């Protein structure tokens, strides 16, 4: 893809899928603005010092934090080309023990934040004919027990994606990725590798392994590229085939 000093904003960018996406973008000549409620990873300092990265401490459940994020990114780089809505939390517990405050918090981080980043970045994305990629989950399509908050918000992202794709067309493309089981245990500053998963964990996946954050980062980059110029409003399931596997007990 032609990068030409393009700029990507990635929420929840301090670890996991967000971190891998930021590194993959920078490796492909795209400036990365990572936003996270936690500390800036020390591993990101080299990108900041090289001038191709920016860290913004932000709580995406708060509208003023999102507005600040968009403003700082534009002030720093003078343009915004891509917005990757990756930040997410969950309270997985029996519904009888799930409080309304917890429900509302998950909705604000996982779903409302994606609406707000689109709202505040749209004027910049229109100028660059940019793209939005929402990171949903296969939990938006299927569930385990006690995942009501997470599943509902990820399902909401699927609908928000195709709605935004129509509302923001033809200037901005909006797509969604639904990852399956991705190993996000290691943070960028970790010196030790987490213990390996069992052989059974890997082999239950039709692809024969658990996914990596890079698997998702590759798809994010593709959907932002000119190669995906005829794709909008779609959800791409990247789960090693698990949602297509019939399981009988």
Q: Do the Cβ atoms of 55 and 39 come closer than 8 Å?
A: no
Asked if the structure places residue 1 within a domain, the reply is no
What's the pLDDT at 3?
54
Contacts of 54 (CB under 8 A, 6+ apart): 31, 32, 33, 34, 48, 72, 73, 76, 77
Question: Looking at the DSSP assignment, which residues form a beta bridge with residue 237?
Answer: 178
Is the pTM here over 0.75, yes or no?
yes
Residue 16 lies in a domain: yes
211 found inside a domain: yes
Quote the CA–CA distance of 211 and 235 in Å, as a whole number.
Answer: 18
Residue 100: inside a domain, yes or no?
yes
User: Directed axis angle between helix 16-27 and helix 213-224, to 10°?
Assistant: 50
Domain count, the chain: 1
Asked, for residue 2, whether it belongs to a domain, the answer is no
CB burial class (10 A; 0-12, 13-18, 19+) of residue 89?
A: middle
Q: Report how far residue 120's alpha carbon sits from residue 116's, in angstroms, rounded to the nearest whole number.
A: 6
Q: Does any domain span residue 249?
A: no
Judged by DSSP in three states, 82 sits in strand
What would the DSSP string read from start to end of 32-66? EEEEESSPPPGGGHHHHHHTSEEEEE--TTSHHHH
Per-residue pLDDT tens digits of the chain, which is 249 residues long: 445 699 999 999 999 999 999 999 999 999 999 999 999 999 999 999 999 999 999 999 999 999 999 999 999 999 999 999 999 999 999 999 999 999 999 999 999 999 999 999 999 999 999 999 999 999 999 999 999 999 999 999 999 999 999 999 999 999 999 999 999 999 999 888 899 999 999 999 999 999 999 999 999 999 999 999 999 999 999 999 999 998 887
CB-CB neighbours of 161 under 10 Å = 24
3-class secondary-structure state, position 174: strand
Task: For residue 109, give the CATH number of its domain.
Answer: 3.40.50.720
Say if CB 222 and CB 163 are below 8 A apart: no
The catalytic site residues sit at 150
C-beta neighbour count of 18 within 10 angstroms: 28
Domain contains 135: yes
Domain assignment present for 238 = yes
Predicted confidence at residue 25, as pLDDT, reads: 98
| Enclosing domain of residue 16 | 7-183+192-244
Radius of gyration of the chain measured on its C-alpha atoms: 18
The pLDDT, as a whole number, for residue 191 is 84
């Amino acid at each position: 893809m032609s990068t030409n000093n393009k700029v990507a904003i990635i929420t929840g960018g301090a670890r996991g899928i967000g971190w891998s996406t930021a590194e993959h973008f920078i490796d492909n000549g795209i400036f990365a603005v990572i936003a996270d409620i936690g500390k800036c990873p020390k591993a990101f300092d080299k990108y900041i010092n090289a001038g191709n990265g920016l860290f913004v401490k932000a709580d995406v459940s708060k509208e003023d934090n999102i507005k600040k994020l968009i403003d700082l990114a534009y002030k720093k780089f003078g343009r915004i080309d891509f917005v990757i809505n990756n930040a997410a939390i969950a309270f997985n517990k029996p519904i009888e023990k799930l409080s309304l405050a917890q429900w509302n918090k998950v909705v604000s981080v996982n779903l409302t934040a994606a609406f707000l980043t689109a709202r505040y970045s749209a004027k910049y994305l229109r100028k660059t004919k940019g793209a939005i990629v929402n990171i949903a989950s296969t939990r938006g399509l299927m569930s385990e027990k006690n995942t009501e908050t997470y599943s509902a918000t990820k399902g909401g992202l699927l609908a928000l994606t195709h709605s935004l794709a129509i509302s923001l067309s033809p200037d901005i493309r909006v797509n969604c990725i639904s990852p399956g089981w991705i190993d996000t245990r290691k943070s960028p500053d970790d010196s030790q590798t987490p213990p390996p998963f069992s052989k059974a964990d890997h082999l239950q996946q039709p692809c024969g392994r658990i996914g990596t954050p890079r698997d998702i980062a590759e798809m994010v980059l593709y959907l932002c590229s000119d190669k995906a110029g005829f794709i909008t409003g779609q959800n791409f399931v990247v789960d090693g085939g698990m949602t297509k596997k019939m399981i009988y007990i």
